[in-house]
């Protein structure tokens, strides 16, 4: 009995020891979890204060640069390429010789047609002489018949000769017209053996070499007029209603940093695409120096109005999430996620309709991967320079240490709110 009690006490002590050790392990883990955030370093970020400013409302869109004129030069007659006069990159004028197709057979056909034309001309002249002779004989016989000097049968024979001569002239005239048409076709074929440029532009493709057979309809060269380009894009129905033909446009491309090209709205499609619910737009872009190239990806900005005294933040502060656009506001050295109601934008600045107050410090850089409540070390951001259309209102310039103020009243608008249109993607992304 004593042994049983002893073994029971030993087992109980062992269980108690195991439980005690488990409790201590769990407590240690909990302590490490609680202390972990203290080891996470504060993230460096740059901030800017929300402030009132006059904001240019713009319709923004992206698209691809296309040549205003692009043509494929095709062969019109069969034959081998005899010579090529241009290379890719050469600038040509309308009528410049591009290539020559072998044309000895065409020359012979043209000479044959010319000879046939000469023969038909001579035949017509002979028929006209015959008609003149028949008419002279008819007038003489007509007088004799009136005097009953010749019988009726002989006079009718003369009349028939006149009608036959008239038919011969008509037939000869028709033969001459046919000969002239054949000569024209032969001459046109001979001229088409010299392939010339239909436009003034630049040779962008050479699709044949000397000795290659050029069948009718085969493309030989591609020409583009790159002095005048077009930007093809699309806008929403709301933006479409605010655009006008010939409105000025500013165009930029990532491949040519710092350069701004001018243009104007050339065409506005009067219908929406049933798939995208957007309207096509073509922007004519000036390219006098030839710096822009076809198929470059470009961005365009079209001013459509002005917001005065709007509460604005840098567009770079906006982070696009699946749930919507958010910004991070620095409060007590922590990043606080806020979901404001955003308004118009000009690409650099975006108006805030509600959700932020004047003076709130929003994170402009360093917010990638930032979590709500994360510790941050804030420094002042370098803001975009003010433009003539978008300037900070003097009475609302941000102070170094702003105090919380009541929510700003909605900005006074001179036109409807603008939206930014990107025709290439609808996937949310961080605005940078």
- The pLDDT of residue 337 is 93
214: tokens are 């050029």
pTM: 0.55
- The pLDDT of residue 48 is 92
Alpha-carbon distance of 289 to 241, in angstroms, equals 33
- The pLDDT of residue 424 is 38
Q: Are 193 and 25 in contact (CB under 8 A)?
A: no
Alpha-carbon distance of 249 to 303, in angstroms, equals 8
Domain positions in the chain = 43-55+309-413, 63-67+225-303, 77-99+198-217, 103-192
Assign domain 103-192 to a CATH class: mainly alpha
Alpha-carbon distance of 125 to 67, in angstroms, equals 56
Alpha-carbon distance of 250 to 303, in angstroms, equals 9
- The pLDDT of residue 419 is 39
- The model's pLDDT over 178-208, given as tens digits with 9 standing for 90+, comes to 999 999 998 888 999 999 999 998 999 999 9
- The model's pLDDT over 198-255, given as tens digits with 9 standing for 90+, comes to 999 899 999 999 999 888 999 999 999 888 899 999 988 888 888 889 999 999 998 8
Mean pLDDT in the chain? Answer: 81
Q: What percent of the chain has pLDDT over 70?
A: 79
CA dihedral 398, 402, 405, 408 (to 10 degrees): 20
- The pLDDT of residue 85 is 93
- The model's pLDDT over 257-268, given as tens digits with 9 standing for 90+, comes to 888 999 999 999
Q: What is the mean pLDDT of residues 125-133?
A: 89
Alpha-carbon distance of 197 to 392, in angstroms, equals 54
pLDDT value at 284 more than 60:
yes
Is domain 43-55+309-413 classified as CATH 2.40.50.140? no
Alpha-carbon distance of 344 to 249, in angstroms, equals 18
- The pLDDT of residue 238 is 83
CATH for 63-67+225-303, options being 3.30.1950.10, 3.30.43.10, 3.30.1330.10, 2.40.30.170: 2.40.30.170
Q: What is the mean pLDDT of residues 32-45?
A: 62
3-state secondary structure 109-153: HHHHHHHHHHHHHHHHHHHHHHHHHHHHHHHHHHHHHHCCCCCHH
- The pLDDT of residue 65 is 92
pLDDT value at 20 more than 60:
yes
- The pLDDT of residue 99 is 94
Alpha-carbon distance of 284 to 227, in angstroms, equals 11
């Amino acid at each position: 009995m004593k042994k049983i009690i002893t073994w029971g006490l030993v087992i109980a002590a062992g269980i108690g020891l195991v439980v005690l050790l488990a409790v201590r392990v769990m407590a240690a883990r909990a302590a490490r979890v609680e202390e972990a955030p203290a080891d996470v370093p504060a993230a460096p970020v740059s901030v800017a204060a929300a402030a009132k400013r006059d904001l240019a409302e713009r319709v923004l869109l992206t698209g691809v640069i296309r040549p205003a004129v692009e043509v494929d030069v095709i062969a019109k007659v069969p034959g081998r390429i005899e010579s090529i006069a241009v290379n890719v990159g050469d600038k040509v004028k309308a009528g410049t010789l591009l290539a020559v197709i072998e044309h000895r057979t065409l020359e012979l056909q043209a000479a044959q047609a010319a000879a046939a034309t000469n023969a038909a001309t001579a035949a017509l002249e002979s028929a006209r002489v015959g008609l003149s002779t028949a008419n002279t004989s008819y007038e003489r016989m007509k007088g004799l018949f009136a005097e009953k000097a010749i019988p009726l049968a002989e006079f009718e024979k003369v009349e028939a000769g006149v009608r036959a001569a008239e038919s011969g002239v008509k037939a000869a005239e028709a033969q001459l017209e046919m000969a002239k048409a054949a000569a024209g076709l032969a001459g046109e074929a001979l001229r088409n053996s010299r392939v010339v440029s239909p436009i003034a532009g630049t040779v962008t493709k050479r699709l044949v070499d000397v000795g290659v057979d050029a069948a009718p309809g085969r493309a030989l060269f591609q020409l583009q007029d790159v002095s005048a380009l077009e930007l093809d894009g699309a806008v929403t129905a709301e933006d479409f209603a605010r655009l006008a033909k010939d409105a000025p446009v500013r165009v930029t491309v990532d491949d040519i940093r710092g350069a701004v090209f001018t243009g104007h709205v050339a065409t506005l499609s009067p219908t929406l695409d049933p798939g995208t619910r957007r309207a096509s737009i073509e922007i004519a872009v000036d390219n006098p120096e030839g710096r822009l190239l076809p198929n470059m990806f470009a961005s365009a900005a079209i001013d459509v109005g002005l917001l005065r005294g709007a509460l604005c933040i840098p567009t770079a502060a906006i982070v696009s999430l699946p749930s919507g656009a958010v910004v991070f506001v620095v409060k007590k050295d922590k990043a606080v996620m806020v979901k404001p109601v955003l308004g118009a934008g000009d690409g650099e600045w975006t108006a805030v309709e509600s959700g932020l107050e004047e003076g709130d410090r929003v994170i402009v850089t360093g917010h990638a991967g930032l979590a709500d409540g994360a510790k941050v070390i804030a420094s002042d951001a370098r803001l975009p320079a003010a433009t003539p259309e978008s300037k900070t209102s003097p009475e609302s310039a941000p102070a170094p240490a702003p105090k919380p103020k009541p929510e700003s009243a909605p900005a006074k608008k001179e036109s409807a709110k603008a939206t930014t249109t990107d025709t290439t993607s609808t996937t949310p992304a961080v605005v940078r």
